[in-house]
């Protein structure tokens, strides 16, 4: 049996680290705060606020039935994870930034999928605001997905500018 290629080890380590951090922070919030409790961290800028989001980003689908949301988000997550896996596989072997980016998004998607399967909603607690203007609360998984998607867009833009698309199939790895 051969060892996992380096890039698959990177995918596993980064994704699992994000999932572990995401789930640990959510567990801490759920066990130390009441639902809708808010603790100021940086006055007039940042609170820890324990909420649960039954919908997607910005509360999309929040008013849909629980059964619909569960089926929709599980199918969407599986599709997204498959797409990420395809992109990951097609990246050049030396593209560590691309691999790290995909691993970040992958880990975030799994973190939020775990919440949806366990609770039917996602635990959010990072609450940034200025005055009365609040950014929707989010969590570690959301942060990993957002940073990963922005990074992936930058990567694709840079690859396109160089004339060497990131979507070219990767050379096959040595199986021996």
What would the pLDDT profile of 42-54 be if each residue is shown by its tens digit? Answer: 999 999 999 999 8
CA atoms within 13 Å, Cβ hemisphere of 84: 25
Instruction: Tell me the whole-structure pTM to 2 decimals.
Output: 0.82
Q: For the chain, what are the domain ranges?
A: 1-44+75-126+139-167
Options 95, 115, 124, 127, the catalytic residue = 124
pLDDT reported for residue 67: 80
Query: Tokens at residue 157, please?
Result: 């833009």
Options 95, 115, 127, 142, the catalytic residue = 142
- In the residue annotation, 95 being an active-site residue is answered as no
Sheet holding 122-130, edge to edge: 38-42, 46-53, 122-130, 133-134
DSSP for 29-82?
HHHHS-TT-EEEEETTTEEEEEEEESSSGGGTTTTS-HHHHHHHHHHHHHHHHH
pLDDT above 90: residue 165:
no
- In the residue annotation, 124 being an active-site residue is answered as yes
User: What band does 59 get if pLDDT is binned at 50, 70 and 90?
Assistant: low
């Amino acid at each position: 049996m051969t060892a996992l290629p380096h890039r698959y080890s990177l995918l596993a380590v980064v994704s699992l680290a994000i999932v572990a951090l995401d789930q640990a922070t959510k567990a801490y919030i759920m066990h130390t705060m009441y639902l809708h409790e808010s603790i100021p961290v940086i006055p007039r800028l940042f609170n820890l606020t324990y909420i649960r989001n039954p919908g997607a980003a910005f509360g999309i689908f929040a008013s849909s039935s629980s059964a619909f949301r569960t089926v929709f988000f599980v199918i969407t997550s599986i599709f997204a994870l498959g797409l990420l896996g395809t992109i990951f596989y097609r990246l050049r072997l030396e593209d560590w930034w691309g691999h790290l980016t995909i691993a970040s998004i992958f880990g975030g998607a799994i973190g939020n999928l775990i919440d949806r399967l366990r609770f039917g909603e996602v635990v959010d607690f990072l609450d940034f605001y200025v005055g009365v203007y609040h950014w929707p609360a989010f969590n570690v998984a959301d942060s990993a997905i957002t940073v990963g998607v922005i990074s992936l867009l930058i990567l694709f833009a840079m690859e396109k500018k160089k004339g060497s698309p990131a979507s070219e199939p990767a050379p096959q790895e040595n199986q021996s």
